[in-house]
Amino acid sequence: MEYQHLLYQVDKHIAYITINRASALNALNQQTLTELEATLLEAKKDHDVKGIIITGAGEKAFVAGADIKEFVDLSEAEAKLLSQKGHYIFTELIEQSPKPVIAAINGFALGGGLELALACHMRFASANAKLGLPEVSLGLLPGYGGTQRLTQLVGRGRALQMILTADLISAEEGLRIGLINEVLDAADLMNRVEEVLERIFSRSGTAVTAAIDAVNASNEQTRDGYQVEINHFAELFVTRDFKEGVDAFLTKRKPNF
């Protein structure tokens, strides 16, 4: 399938989703959001895909936010629909993805762009990346889950400092406060993210999916995360991967998942 604002490619079990509107610093307009939804669904149903990397085209930006130019004529009802659409994609297709999703933050990750990265399971950033939720400087607040996910990740005080000041922070500062997993030279960013995914692919895919779900449950009000963990733990005991993993350990060989 051809996309207008995204590049989509699968290689060695990794689906690469590249937001490709470099002239607007990869800002997420509605068309891009729709295409993001389509690629995520494609990656989900493709049995060859075991993990997903989301990044931005060019050297300057991951995603500089929602497209502010599209905000100008939005009614209250339309703004609500936009926010809901982003919530659905970020929560159900990224955060709840059974396959690991990693953000490779190659530059500005601002507003909806940082919120996109926050929905991913991990965030790796190039040293030149700048992170922030500048919405209050536009008279708005983060509308793609940022008030919730940033708070969960870095705590209330640091989240409020970033959200209320609208100040940008460096990748190094992001690393220090737990927002970023690792900071890398720009040239090494993609290799490192691929390496992490390959490491995950060497583990039991069934167990990886169960672990993502159990960790996600820790932030949900409708499910008891401890109970989800107990249930998945028990369910994994009847899987082929479990038998293979334990047998490999006991017979001192590498597992073949």
Report, as residue numbers or ranges, the catalytic residues. 115, 135
**Cα distance between residue 105 and residue 189, in whole Å:** 8
Closest CA to 109 of 69, 150, 154, 139: 150
Nearer to ligand HXC, 35 or 135 (CB): 135
Across the chain, the runs of DSSP E, i.e. the strands, are: 6-11, 14-19, 51-56, 61-63, 101-105, 108-110, 122-126, 130-132, 169-170, 182-184
Residue 159 CB, nearest approach to ligand HXC (Å): 15
Nearer to ligand HXC, 68 or 153 (CB): 68
131 pairs with which residues across the strands? Answer: 109, 169
Residue 123 CB, nearest approach to ligand HXC (Å): 17
Nearer to ligand HXC, 69 or 156 (CB): 69
61 pairs with which residues across the strands? Answer: 108
Residue 152 CB, nearest approach to ligand HXC (Å): 17
Residue 99 CB, nearest approach to ligand HXC (Å): 25
- Binding residues (CB under 6 A) for ligand HXC: these are 24-25, 27, 64-69, 82-83, 86, 108, 110-112, 134-135, 138, 143-144
Nearer to ligand HXC, 13 or 60 (CB): 60
Nearer to ligand HXC, 16 or 144 (CB): 144
**Cα distance between residue 25 and residue 186, in whole Å:** 17
Residue 80 CB, nearest approach to ligand HXC (Å): 9
Report yes or no: 144 and 115 within 8 Å, Cβ to Cβ. yes
Look up residue 139 and give its amino acid: G
Residues contacting residue 39 through CB under 8 Å, at least 6 positions apart:
3, 6, 8, 15, 17
Report yes or no: 105 and 126 within 8 Å, Cβ to Cβ. yes
